[in-house]
Every structure is written in structure tokens, then in C-alpha cells.
Amino acid sequence: MIKNLKNLLLITDTDVKHSLIFAILTGLLLFIAEYAFIIVLQSMLSSIGIADAKSLDLPKWLPTGAKYSLLFFFLVGAIRVSALMLKNYLIGVTNQKFLRSQREMISNYAIYNAEKTSTHEMTSLYTDILSRSGSTILDLTGLVITITSISLLFLTGLTTAPVEMCIGTLGLFLTWVPIRFINKKISTLGDNLSIDWGNITRSLLENIRHNYFFRAHGLEQEQLRTGQIHLKSYETNYGTFYRYSAIKNGFPNIAGILLVSSIAYISITFLNTKGSALLSFLYIFIRVAQGGGELSVTLSHLRLNLPSAEKLVMWNSLFNSSSNNHSSFLDETKQKLRIKSLTTKDLSFSYEDKKIIDKLNLSLNSGDILIISGQSGSGKSTLLSLLLSINQPSDGSICINDLPLSISADSYKRSIAYVGPEPFLFNASIKDNILLGSVKESLSSNEIEKAISLSCSDLLISEKPEGINYILDEHADISTGQKQRISICRAILRDPDLFILDEATANLDSTTEQRIMNNLKDNFPNSIFIIVTHKKELFHFGNKHLSLDRTD
């Protein structure tokens, strides 16, 4: 467990480490409050006549009298309550600091490395694995506070009543024998819960993603039964965990009551311990036993959640080793680049020792329209990913205005517009969707209306009662072709020097397709167009052609 916790701490940021250091100080404050309470308790017993002041170990500087005792009782109580409030606040804040830093890292990895993982893996990581790992940090913070306070209380107990404290400690350690057995069971449950949650998430995503297939073939009930099996397993494992936890949490309390009673009897009958020392010991031991109970609960949660924390540590090693671990945001200070030429020299790209692109040479200038064709798997999408600076070449180079693309990647991306075969639309209005990614600070209504007209989206918008404010959620009543037109409208509003169109009109009828292509050609005469298409009807728009079909 200690090794796993050390690995988890290695992936935390400085804020979390500072919070854990502050947790030690909070534990110290709790100890001071508890120790002061022992003194105040004796002072109150003396002031109300229950105990003789001479038999008590009260500091000489402490004022006597009921009024002062009550005042100190209030002040110490307030300090103790404040320390407990600080403990709860610190535990929650440390957890959120950890979650925030990890969410930033996961988001950064997901946006740059989506092809290296699955939606299920990312969803499970972002929800259950991260949440349970956060619970580990939460428990660890509480563990630091509790260990600090009860360790100091234990040392105080040794100086106050050493024999009684040793007997009590031995008794507490004996209670760990059955608890160790329960801990092993809880560790196994943690692994099972992590597997169950992964199955639940996968089942839910499949039901959403492949809903049409399941309903078309009458497989809905079968899929639901599969999900119910996973949910039942998750519920059963959690029920077992709570059963073991109830036994584990209750056992130390029973043992503590028995120990306190036994030690008090031994102390009075055989050891003749001074009353004030015995009173102090009993209070200290009860607090130590309570702290031990808290530690027992915390360790149960740690054992339950550590398997998820181990997975998060593994993911972090992947995050850190990723070659595409870029900055999270595009540099907003970069200006739009005026693209006059795009060239590639011996451009090559390999994947797992397989050549996808081999020594490709292109030369495009303002006004050029390149038509790219090729069979599935010939490297069209790979080439576009290189031109979009999503992937990096294995060999060769890409130059913009005769300079390497790497020099001006941010400003280059402000000057291009990409429309793919799958329209990227978001849960927002049509207006918000077409304005997304605009490089201008503001666009006039005339510019927006012109883009809508050029992309042939005007009829779609006019048909909707909400018009341009129609919300494009997952149930929006628009076709794939209409979605493509909205994507093209967004591209037009970027006013790009380079259009990269990957089967961007694949779902449009021939008339609309020809009209849009003519509109783009006529209104952006100085822009470079790179068009991937299988439709020969579009070949005449290009003045340059590239076939990626292999001839070997």
C-alpha cells in the first residue's frame, strides 16, 4: 500500500503536496486542542468541587474559579471545533485540487491523442477511476491529520500513565488480527468494483452508440439484461464491502470499551495511579482509540480505491511519455498567417514499420485546387493529418511560404479550414456552431448571411421556427447533408487561405454539391483548396490531381 501511495503522490501537483504539509499542521492543532481540553476538564472538576485541586496536575499560571474554568472550556472547545472544521475543509479542498489537475491532464491527452484510446476508456478514466483516485487523496489527507494528532496524544499518554498506555496499546494491536483478514477481502472487492464499473460504462456507451442496430434486430432486452448483470454485480460487491466495513468499524469500538474498563480496574486496584493521571489517560486513550477507528475506516477506503489509483498512475506515465503532449490551448497572441504557397519535399509517414506515405512531393500556390483520390487505406486521411499538423512526418518536410510548418504552426492553423466526412456539430444553436472557431473577434450579420447563402444553408434555417437559433442537439431534425452544409458554412466564416475538404460534400445531392463548389471557387479565388473525393463529377474543379492508389 505504501508503495502505491508514494506512486500516487508522484503524480500530484505542488498545490496538493502543500495541502498535505498543511494537513500535518492541522493535526498538530488538533493535538493542542485535545491536550488543552484535558487541562480544562480537570480545572472544571476542581472548580465545581468534584476533585481536589491539590490532587490535580494543573499549571500554576491557570486562573482558578468556576468563571475562568467555563471561559477556558469555551475557548478550548471553540479551538477544537475550528480544528475539526479546518480538517474537513482541507480534506475536501485537497481532493478538488487533485481532481482539477488530473482532469486538465486527461483533457489535454484526449484532445491530442484521441486515436490512441477509446471513448469507453476515457469515460471510465474521467469518471470512476478519477473519482476513486480522488477519494484516495481525500482519505490520505485525513490519514495525515489523524496520524499526526493521535501520535502526539499517544506520546503524551506514555508520559502521563506509561503502564496503562502500554497495556491499552497492546490491546488495540490485538484487534488488528481479525481486521487484517477483513482488509484482504476489501482489497479484492476494490479490484472487482473497478472491473464492474468498466463493464457498466461499456454497456451504456454501446447501447447509446449502437442503438439503431440493437432495435433493428430486436436485441434491446438482451442488451438490457447484460447491463443489469453488471449493475447487480456492482451492487453485490458494494454490499459486501459495507458488510465488512460495518464489522471492521464496530469491532474497535467494542474492544475499546472493554479495554478502558479493564485498564481502569487494573489501574485503581493494582497500580494505584494518581487520579489526575488516570483521568488524563482515560481521555487520551479514548481519543487514541477513536483515532484508531478512524484510521481503520480510512484504510478500508484506501484499500478499496487503490486499484483505481494504480490505474491512474499508469495513465499518467502514458500522458508524460506521449510525444503529442502539447500545450492545452492555441496561442491567442498569434496572428493569422497569409498562406501563399504550400510545398512538401519527400514527405513520408510510417505506422508500425508500414509505409503509408512515401516521398511525396507537392507544390501548391494561391488559387490552386488539388483533387486527391484513392482507394480506402491508400493514405488520404493520413496525408491530411500531416497537412493539418495533427501528425508529424516520419521523414521529409512540409513548408508554408517556403518556411518549415513547425515555425508557424499556430498562425498556420488560423488560416486553414477543415471539413471532414463526419460533420463536427456541437450541442448549441446553428449560429453558435457556425461561429465556432472564427478567427475574427466579431462578424457582421451580412458576413454571416453571406456564408449561409454560399453554403446553401439558407433553406435549412428558414424551415426552422427558431431560425439560426435552432439547437443542434443529438435529437435535432436535420439530415447528414444539412449537417455538412453547416460545417462548410463554419469553414467559410474562417475566411481561410487554405481549404481542406475531406469528402465534405459526400452526402449532398449533385446539384447542391456543384453549386457549393462553384460558390467556394468564385468567392475564394486566392485560396488553396485540397479536396479529397471519390466523386469524378468534382474532378473538373481541380487544376492539379493526385492519386494515392498504389501501382505496384
- CATH of residue 82's domain is 1.20.1560.10
Residue pointed to by grid coordinates 464499473: 197
Specify which residues 323 forms β-bridges with: none
Give Cβ neighbours of residue 334 (< 8 Å, ≥ 6 apart).
410, 411, 414
Q: Which residues of the chain have pLDDT under 70?
A: 44-65, 212, 217, 252, 321-335, 550-552
pLDDT at 143: 92
Amino acid occupying residue 424: F
Considering the domain architecture, whether residues 308 and 402 belong to the same structural domain is answered as no
Considering the domain architecture, whether residues 350 and 313 belong to the same structural domain is answered as no
pLDDT at 334: 52
Sign of CA dihedral 236, 241, 247, 249: negative
The three three-digit cell numbers of residue 481, written as one number: 447533408
Please state at what angle helix 220-266 crosses helix 162-174, rounded to 10 degrees.
150
Residue 393 contacts residue 400 (beta carbons within 8 Å):
no
Residue 94 contacts residue 141 (beta carbons within 8 Å):
yes
Task: Provide the edge-to-edge strand list for the sheet that holds 498-502.
Answer: 416-419, 498-502, 528-532, 369-373, 544-547
Collapse the DSSP code of 284 into the 3-class scheme (helix H, G, I; strand E, B; otherwise coil) and give the result: helix
Considering the domain architecture, whether residues 254 and 356 belong to the same structural domain is answered as no
Question: How many structural domains does the chain have?
Answer: 2
Which domain covers residue 403, as residue numbers? 341-547
pLDDT at 30: 93
Give the whole-angstrom CA distance, residue 30 versus residue 159. Answer: 19
Considering the domain architecture, whether residues 359 and 300 belong to the same structural domain is answered as no
pLDDT at 55: 59
Alpha carbons within 13 A on the beta-carbon side of 57: 13
Considering the domain architecture, whether residues 409 and 513 belong to the same structural domain is answered as yes
Q: State if pTM tops 0.85.
A: no
pLDDT at 346: 94
In a domain, 504, yes or no: yes
Considering the domain architecture, whether residues 186 and 147 belong to the same structural domain is answered as yes
Considering the domain architecture, whether residues 283 and 345 belong to the same structural domain is answered as no
**In the 8-state DSSP scheme, what is residue 444?**
-
Residue 504 contacts residue 419 (beta carbons within 8 Å):
yes
pLDDT at 327: 44
Angle at 335 between CA 331 and CA 339, to 5 degrees: 115
The three three-digit cell numbers of residue 451, written as one number: 456564408
